[in-house]
Amino acid sequence: MKLVELSDLFDVRYGHSLELNRLSIRAAAAGGIPFVSRKMGDNGIAAYVRRIDDVEPAPAGELTCALSGNGVLSTFIQDSEFYTAFHVARLSPNCTMSVNQKLYYCTCIKANRYRFSYGRQANRTLKELLIPEVESLPEWVEELNPEMFGGAERPVSKTIVSDPARDQWKRFRLSDLFELRKGKRLTKANLLNRPGTIPFIGAIDSNNGVSGSVDAAIHQGGTITVNYNGAGVADAFYQATDFWASDDVNVLYPKFEISPAVALFIATVIRREKYRFSYGRKWHLERMRESEIFLPANRQGLPDFDFMKSYIESMSFSSVIV
């Protein structure tokens, strides 16, 4: 793969360097123009603003790149005209590029963020970053569908579900709702020697708890994993497929018919117990069996699983729940 400097493929220039507090906010639905900052998420968009009479927005299709701050080198395609804040660069391709190729270059640029920090900005050296030339891009780049998550923000149900009243919540012991089982230790050496496609669930607080993959499963899908140790103690995740859990993770097998939506509701409630635990007070299996969580209850005093399901399915992005 041949590498070239960023400036060989993109015209790199400073953005508008505008201050958001001097602009008028306007909703996107009302014709507001995206204001791109150094944010790491939301495509870098901090707000939508009114058009400025004497400032022409940048055209759609350009890339924006944060030159400093915590989100340094966060790079995004802007699919509509936009304004930018200070320390945001605009990258305009010097040749014809597909959306897939632009997305690939966004990832390439972000991969260099480890080189920079608050004390070392990218404003002087961005043009010199080495990236693959267009002719060297892997074939799979064009095979991917950039619209694969289109419409993901839609809820399953359009019915608005209100929060239950405070007196409709009741304490339930975890061991009454679930059979609790422990994970099994695997060392790093074991992980390296057992490559596979089965999720390995470790005591981490992100990526649905998946910290690697192995060649065998010891727990069934349709369960909830809860970290009882480490920085991610009490972080809970729904596991849709069979998996291996580390010995820092407890696995909750439901004693009732559980749906992904209900599991996500309960996992969120379990995370709310995080404040009770720390390195010095782990949520080990015996303590977890005696622990109670608050859940909405029906008139019979049982967990209101129908409400939990309806509540989750009324939320944005619920359409992509497994």
- CA atoms within 13 A of residue 234's CA, in its CB half-sphere: 18
pLDDT score recorded for residue 192: 66
Interatomic CA distance for residues 133 and 213, integer angstroms = 32
Residue 188, pLDDT score? 72
Q: Bridge-partner residues for 262, per DSSP?
A: none
Percent over 70 (pLDDT), the chain:
98
Q: Please give the domain boundaries of the chain with CATH numbers for all domains.
A: 3-143 (3.90.220.20), 166-320 (3.90.220.20)
Per-residue CA distances from 1 to 6, 131, 211, 301 (Å):
15, 10, 29, 64
Rounded CA gap, 84 and 78, in Å?
Answer: 11
Whether residue 84 contacts residue 17, with contact meaning beta carbons closer than 8 Å, is answered with yes
Distance CA 101, CA 125 (A): 22
Taking 70 as the pLDDT cut, the residues of the chain under it are 118-119, 191-193, 322
Q: What pLDDT, in 10s, does the model give residues 6-56?
A: 999 999 999 999 999 999 999 998 999 999 999 999 999 999 999 999 999
CA distance 39 to 33: 16
